[in-house]
Structure 1
Amino acid sequence: MNIPHRERARAFLAEAEMLNPGPWVQHSLFVAQAAEAIAEAHPHLDAETGYILGILHDIGRRAGVTNLRHIIDGYTFLHALGFEDAAQISMTHSFPVRDIRVVNGQWDCSPEELQFIEAYLAQVEFSTYDRLLQLCDALALPSGFCLIEKRLVDVALRHGVHEHTLARWRGYFAVQAELEAAIGASIYSLLPGVIENTFAPMQVDPKTM
């Protein structure tokens, strides 16, 4: 795959943290750990690739405190460096359903950028890595791993819900079922601390993550 090696990906994240520190950085580290663990158990995925894609999935947040435009900011950053597979993950990780209406948050990009995202999603072929990162994004808080349901409520408390929210949630559970069928086990069996973190008090941080 066309992605940077682990050390360079970590350097990108460290640089991004200096530009825009926030809970999204710890979230990215936990997403990377989850993707690595699940990929290790998957017959057709590479654990190192999963980790690197997890580190970079939210790299668009390097551009500052934004909402959904981090999707295209991350894509633009990685695409310019020639890391097309990582750029794809930046674009697809928020879409368990291939529909721009399902996202939670505000589209704070230009009409032309939104049009580009919509066209990109319509033509791109989702790989198992796309599915993996969609799932891992939905089970990692800045404090650690949790049940998908807790993460979905966390996002809903910060960004609200709308008429397409249930379709989005069903999309995540479909991805979970698909990956669990492939690994022959519950994803949660691979995630240390998931029980404790799930039942820890909910902490709602209004800063985008």
Structure 2
Amino acid sequence: MLPDRSEAERFLKESEEIHPGPWADHCRTAAVCAEKIAQNCEGLDPQKAYILGLFHDIGRRIETGTHFKHIVDGYQCMTDCGYDEAARVCMTHSFQIKDVDTYIGRIDVPKEVVEMVKEFLAHTEFDDYDLLIQLCDALSLPEGPVTMEKRLADIEKRYGNYPEEKRKRCYELKAYFETRMGRQLYEVIGVEKV
């Protein structure tokens, strides 16, 4: 279950008021990218994609400045709201590779929470919505959509690294959705490759 678009936007705005920061505009960018890509993929619901994009970093509503914890906070927040599909994406969006050791950033939760995330990932078969939000996260800055190169460079600058294995997986996701759409990704999301 998910809220409708206007309720999702209202929830994100309320969350941004609780903990202001660029994270909310990053989510809005991811939502718009997800919607545009879904509009070009048979079998994907653009409204659902938009809402999942809006909520992927909603854990920032609970506390800003967290790393791994925002995944778990988002999952719990969306579960508490009854939005299971959004809860799932909160958990899966940072794991293009289903391995918590590939997480970029601090592990700022107890070991038992890390184990819970490991279990969740091990028992979750990623669907196209999981993959779509992973892709859109890698295309979205608060200012708007950008090339993957620019977004990954932004992450690397802030966190000190972006593992080659994850980088490769991001480009595989790009190729996968370009094949599904039969179109170039940057054309669809309105980014000029320089």
TM-score bucket (shorter structure): over 0.9
In the alignment, residue 70 of structure 2 is paired with which amino acid?
A: H
Structure 1 residue 15 corresponds to structure 2 residue 14? yes
Match of 1:57 in 2: 56
Indicate if the aligned counterparts of 1:68 and 1:107 stay in contact, CA closer than 8 A: yes
In the alignment, residue 92 of structure 1 is paired with which amino acid?
A: T
In the alignment, residue 126 of structure 1 is paired with which amino acid?
A: F
Q: Deviations over 1:167-188 (max 9, x none)?
A: 1111111111111111001111
Matches within 5 A, 1:92-107: 92-107=92-107
In the alignment, residue 26 of structure 1 is paired with which amino acid?
A: D
Deviation (angstroms), 1:77? 0.5
Cα distance in 2 for partners of 1:61, 1:68 equals 11
Deviation (angstroms), 1:135? 0.2
Deviation (angstroms), 1:136? 0.3
In the alignment, residue 154 of structure 2 is paired with which amino acid?
A: D
In the alignment, residue 15 of structure 1 is paired with which amino acid?
A: E
Deviation (angstroms), 1:64? 1.7
Could you list the structure 1 runs, at least 4 aligned residues long, displaced by more than 2 angstroms after superposition: none
Deviation (angstroms), 1:86? 0.8
Structure 1 residue 147 corresponds to structure 2 residue 136? no
Match of 2:129 in 1: 129
Q: Deviations over 1:18-60 (max 9, x none)?
A: 1110011111111000000000000110111110001111100
Q: Deviations over 1:137-159 (max 9, x none)?
A: 00011111111111111001101
In the alignment, residue 48 of structure 1 is paired with which amino acid?
A: Q
Indicate if the aligned counterparts of 1:57 and 1:93 stay in contact, CA closer than 8 A: yes
Indicate if the aligned counterparts of 1:103 and 1:168 stay in contact, CA closer than 8 A: no
Cα distance in 1 for partners of 2:41, 2:23 equals 26
Instruction: Among all aligned residue pairs of Structure 1 and Structure 2, give the percentage whose two residues are the same amino acid.
Output: 39
Q: Residue 37 of structure 1 aligns to a residue in which SS?
A: helix
TM (norm. structure 1) is 0.89
In the alignment, residue 2 of structure 2 is paired with which amino acid?
A: I
Gaps of 5+ in 2: none
Indicate if the aligned counterparts of 1:56 and 1:90 stay in contact, CA closer than 8 A: yes
Deviation (angstroms), 1:8? 1.5
Deviation (angstroms), 1:82? 1.5
Indicate if the aligned counterparts of 1:60 and 1:74 stay in contact, CA closer than 8 A: yes
Which of 160, 179, 184 is 1:181 aligned to? 179
Deviation (angstroms), 1:93? 0.6
Match of 1:25 in 2: 24
Number of residue pairs matched by the alignment: 193
Match of 1:34 in 2: 33
Gaps of 5+ in 1: 200-209
Match of 2:80 in 1: 80
Match of 1:108 in 2: 108
Match of 1:205 in 2: none
